[in-house]
Structure 1
Amino acid sequence: MKRNFVFVMISTIGLALSSCATKNATVADPNAPAYELLDLPKVSIKDFKKNSAGAYVIFDGSSLNGWRGYNKSHVPSKWSIDNGTLKFSKSPAGIQNAEGGDIIFAHDFKNFELEFEWRISQAGNSGVFFLAKEVKGQPIYISSPEYQLLDNVSHPDAKQGVDGNRKSASLYDMIPAKPQNSFPAGEWNRAKIVVNKGKVTHYQNDEKVVEYEFWTPEWTQLLQSSKFSKEKWPLAFELLNSVGGKTKSGVIGFQDHGDDIWLKNVTVKVL
C-alpha cells in the first residue's frame, strides 16, 4: 500500500520570503498515487500594500517581490519586468540559455478575488492557476484548475476540446467561457477570478463567463470528462478532485507555455 508523504525542503529565498511550517499530506484513498509536496517558504500577504478597493497589489510594475518559479527558489530568467508589465519572453534579448518555467506568487490564498490585465502574442497560449500545490517533479496544472489565456483566432487550441472549452477565460478542457468576448492578440484583456468557499466564477472583460463549484459530485464529473480523468491521469484526478488539499488553499501562478505574454495590475482581495 502506498502512502502520500511530504518532502520538506528548507531553503533561503530572497525577496523577503519567510519560512512556513511543515504540513502533512494525507489522502483518503489508500490506493491513490504517491506524490511529494514541496513546503517551500512563503511570503506574508500583509507585507504588501492595498489599493483603494482594499485589494493587495502583488505586482506593481516595478518589483518581483514575492514571486518565484514554481518549485524553485528564484525567478526564471524568461520572466522579467518590461515597461511596467510582468512579461514572459520566449527568447529574451541578451540572455543565452534563458531559463523558463511557470511563475508563482509565494502565498497560499483560500477565498479571494484575483484581478489582472493581460495581452498575448499572436498565436499565443498561456494560463493562470490558483489553489495550486507545489508537487515535486510535476507540473503546476496537476493540482490546479486553469483559467485559459489564448489568442482564440490563431492558436489551434481554440478549435480543440469540446464546445470551445479551451478558449480564453474557459476552465481549461472543462467549461467554455460564454459569451466569448476576448480581445484580439496584442490588445489588453481584463480578467477576474473569484474563489469563495469552493464557488468559483471567471470574468472576462467585465462579464461573467464561467461558474462552477469545487468538492462536489459535479466537479468530479467535470474532471472525469476531461483530460484529467482517473483513467487518463490518475494523479491529476486525485489532486484536482481535492483541489487545495486539506487547507483548501494554494498559490497563484502564471504559465510558461512558450509564448510571449504580458501581465499588469495584478491584485488579490482576500475574502
Structure 2
Amino acid sequence: MIYCLATVLYPERGIFRSLSSLYDLIPSKKKKIVPLGYWNTARIIVKRNMIQHWLNGYKVVEYDRDNNSFASLVAKSKYKNLENFGKSEKGHILLQNEGSPISFRNLKIRSI
C-alpha cells in the first residue's frame, strides 16, 4: 500500500496523466480524492497479466497486459518503440510526479 499526500491536480495535463491512471495509456475511472493536505491510499495489484490500480478503496483501473487492446494502446503511444513495454515480470518501481510537491510514506512491496 502506498500513501501519497494529496496535492493540487493539473487538469491541463489531461485525464491520461491524472492520479492513479496508467500514465499516458489508460485514464482512471471516477475516483474519490481526499482533500488537499491529507493522504491518499493507493494499491497496485498484479496477478499474472491482470493489473489493478486502487485509490482510497476504489478500483480505478484494470487491464490485461497480455491482450490485444493493451498492445494497441502501447502501439499508439510514446512507448511504441520500447520493446516489450509493460510485459516484464520483474523490474523496478517508478514513483513519479510532474514537478509539484509530493510525499510518499509506508511503501510496501509484497509477493503473494
Q: How many angstroms apart in 1 are the aligned matches of 2:93 and 2:51?
A: 14
The structure 1 residue matched to 2:85, chosen from 223, 228, 240, is: 240
3-state SS in 1 of match to 2:66: coil
Which amino acid is 2:100 matched to?
D
- 1:116 maps to what in 2? 2
Structure 2 stretches lacking a partner, 5+ long: none
8 Å CA contact 1:120, 1:260 repeated in 2: no
What is the CA distance between 1:267 and its match in structure 2? 1.2
TM-score, with structure 2 as normaliser: 0.84
Moved over 6 A (4+): none
Cα distance change on mapping 1:250 and 1:155 into 2, 3 Å: same
CA shift at 1:183, angstroms?
A: 2.4
Matches for 1:67-106 after TM superposition, within 5 Å: none
Matches within 5 A, 1:145-164: 151-152=8-9, 154=10, 156-157=12-13, 160=14, 164=15
* 2:77 alignment counterpart: 226
**1:158-201 deviation digits (Å, cap 9, x = unpaired):** xx3xxx22211011111111122222442210000001111100
Query: Take 1:255 and 1:174, find their aligned partners in 2: how far apart are those partners?
Result: 15
State which of 44, 55, 60 in structure 2 corresponds to 1:204.
Answer: 55
SS in 1 for 2:93: strand
- Contact conserved, 1:183 with 1:189, CA < 8 A, in 2? yes
Percentage identity across paired residues of the two chains: 29
Q: What displacement does 1:120 show?
A: 4.6
Residue in 2 aligned with 1:215? Answer: 66
CA contact (8 A) 2:6 2:34 kept: no
CA contact (8 A) 1:201 1:210 kept: yes
Does the 8 Å contact 1:174/1:225 carry over to 2? no
Partners of 1:251 and 1:169 lie apart in 2 by 18
Deviation per CA, 1:123-161, whole angstroms, max 9, x where unpaired? xxxxxxxxxxxxxxxxxxxxxxxxxxxx33x4531xx3x
Paired residue for 1:263, among 101, 104, 108?
A: 104
Higher strand share: 1
Separation of aligned partners in 1, 2:91 and 2:106:
21
Larger RCO, structure (CA 8 Å, separation 6 or more): 2
Which structure 2 residues correspond to residues 28-67 of structure 1 after superposition, within 5 A? none
Describe the SS at the equivalent of 1:175. coil
Describe how 1:160-199 pairs up with structure 2 within 5 A: 160=14, 164-199=15-50
Q: Which has the larger radius of gyration?
A: 1
* Paired positions, count: 112
User: How large is the Cα RMSD of the aligned pairs?
Assistant: 2.0
Measured after TM superposition, the shift of residue 252 of structure 1 is 1.4
**If the length of structure 1 is used for normalisation, what is the TM-score?**
0.38
